[in-house]
Amino acid sequence: MTATTAEPDTGRQQSARPILVLAALAIVYVVWGSTYLGIRIMVEDIPPMIAAGGRFACAAIILAVILMARGGFSRLALTRAELLSCALIGLLLPVLGQGLVTIAESGGAPSGLVALLIAAVPLWVLLYRLLSGERPKKATVAGVTMGFAGLAALLIANGVGGEFPFWTIVLVLLSSASWAFGSWLQPRLRMPKDAFVAAVYEMAVAGVVLLAVGLASGERFDPAAYSARSWAAWAYLVVFGSVVAFSAYVWLLQAANISLVATYAYVNPLVAVFLGWLILSEAVTVPIIVGGAIVIAAVVIVVSTERPQRKRPEEPDHG
């Protein structure tokens, strides 16, 4: 699904593709690193499932309107198989992947710690690849292991036995495993060719499911009772966390190697730690600096080893 064939006049597209991949990675790296803080602020007042469901439902509507404005209603057309695939990925990524994180943070899990635990995504992806019979490059395995070691240093530096319920940590780990499985599975399903169309349906499914679960569990929607601070965080998550970053992520799953895409889980914790220092005045200690340096080195290793190699044009036969 991610394979492409070069046409005679696509030289500009070939040179632009690495730039597009880097731009999408930058969005996922930075924006998603800030969403953990956004979720923590959002659930101060808004019930978690209603907050997450409303976020994805509104994001799906916004993105759908943008796509229809550019290509008409027919742009959103898809087959039954594609719809089922989008529904499955919607359950694995936004519902379980991000819905569980929202519940965990509403239960008291610190946003920075959540980001560190989510960093297990590349390890889960590597496990799924091994179970499916793939044999990743040794350098990729080394890079993932190295990145996890750096994240462990960051985790220890921030304190393992913090004042938060243990069940929130279990939810975050389940979220990480689900997100990794969905990311690994999506390129293997019959998905819409347009990644942004896929994002619309995945977020729409997530919005419906999360809102239904929230209302069924007794959550109440009382917009007048929510602070401007929580509403601002919710709006940020709708526009940047979902419409922009989630769309970029879904596109990356079709355009780049999964191990390269999964490196966002290494960078997001660094962004979370930085925001904690900038906004909450959390100390940046030597272990944090060392752990961060290890993480960045691991990202460089994985990116360099998983980057597709360009085929050299065959030499013309002058004999």
Please check the confidence at residue 19 and state whether its pLDDT lies above 70: yes
| Among the listed residues 25, 56, 24, the one whose alpha carbon sits nearest the alpha carbon of residue 39 | 56
Confidence of residue 247 (pLDDT cuts 50, 70, 90): confident
Q: Is the pLDDT of residue 58 over 80?
A: yes
Q: Token pair for residue 211? A: 């809102």
Whole-angstrom distance, CA of residue 119 vs CA of residue 165: 20
Token pair 């939810």 is found at: 171
Q: What are residue 281's phi and psi, to 5 degrees?
A: 60, 35
Query: Does the pLDDT value for residue 31 go beyond 80?
Result: yes
Is the whole model's pTM more than 0.75, yes or no?
yes
Q: DSSP per residue over 122-160, as a string?
A: HHHHHHHHHHTT----HHHHHHHHHHHHHHHHHHHHH-S
- Residue 312 has a pLDDT of 46
Tell me the per-residue pLDDT of 289-301, one tens digit each, with 9 for 90 and over. 787 788 878 877 8
- Candidates 155, 158, 89, 167; CA nearest to 119 is 155
Give the mean pLDDT of the chain.
83
